Amino acid sequence: MKQFTGFPTRMQFTPIPNLFFSTLLPQISDMAELKITLHIFSALYRKKGYPRCVSYRELAGIPSLMRSLTGAAGPPAEVLRRALAMAAKRGTILHIALDRDGGAEDIYFLNTESDRKTMARIQNGDLSLASPGTGGNSDAAIMEQPDIFTLYEENIGMLTPLISEELSQAERLYPAGWITDAIKEAVSLNKRNWRYISRILERWWQEGRSDGTPGRDSKKTDPDRYVKQKYGHMFRR
């Protein structure tokens, strides 16, 4: 075994959800599945397009991953497919097979709320997913603007169950496009947190927007509707 020389002073990091360590890691006993899971986290983090997904071909094109699968029970390509199937069965990742020129292309998403919605829309034919490339740094592009969940993940941070619920609530309460614009404004001001975004939305709702878009419309909306709901504290008058 070659001795590892240590980590350098400056290096890049890949975020891993805490839930992986507390819930998934204790369940994973297969080394190939563990390696695949970690490589998927890394590959998805490097993605810049929408949505963030990775294909079988991209994973098979990562030399360090395929070398690490050499010597396992079977050829590396076979081990890769088996490990991906295990991760999908466990619920760590989502798998969809898309028809590409008469053949199937295996695409994988992380099992998050936003990616579940994205995959359902692809399966229903509402969205068209462009074919990912074969390189580890290639991006999958989709022919539509990202939804608010994906936009939040890509620009603010990891979605928690509470944030997902608050986003869903805000999506029902505010006019279409406001949440997207509020996230963009928060990013431009380097205020990357949901509390700041909710304050932007509340201000727009109370005072109207700078582009002339009015705030609440008493003809369409009961003013007390918002303060009576679960997240009514976000809409104080």
Do residues 187 and 155 lie in contact, with contact meaning Cβ atoms separated by under 8 Å?
yes
Residue 2 has what pLDDT?
82
- Say what the pLDDT of residue 151 is: 84
Domains of the chain: 28-123 (1.10.10.10), 148-235 (1.10.10)
Q: What is the pLDDT of residues 164-180, one digit of tens each?
A: 889 888 988 998 789 99
Residue-wise pLDDT for 87-118, tens only, equals 999 999 999 999 877 788 999 999 998 899 88
Mean pLDDT computed over 179-189: 93
Phi, psi of 143 (to 5 degrees): -85, 50
State the Cα torsion 104-110-112-113 to the nearest 10°: -20
pTM for the structure as a whole? 0.60
Place of tokens 């369409």: 220
pLDDT in tens, 48-100: 777 889 999 999 999 999 999 987 778 999 999 999 999 999 999 999 999 87
Q: Strand ranges (DSSP E) for 91-170?
A: 93-100, 103-110
pLDDT given at position 144: 45
Give kind and range of the element (H or E) at residue 161.
Answer: helix 161-173
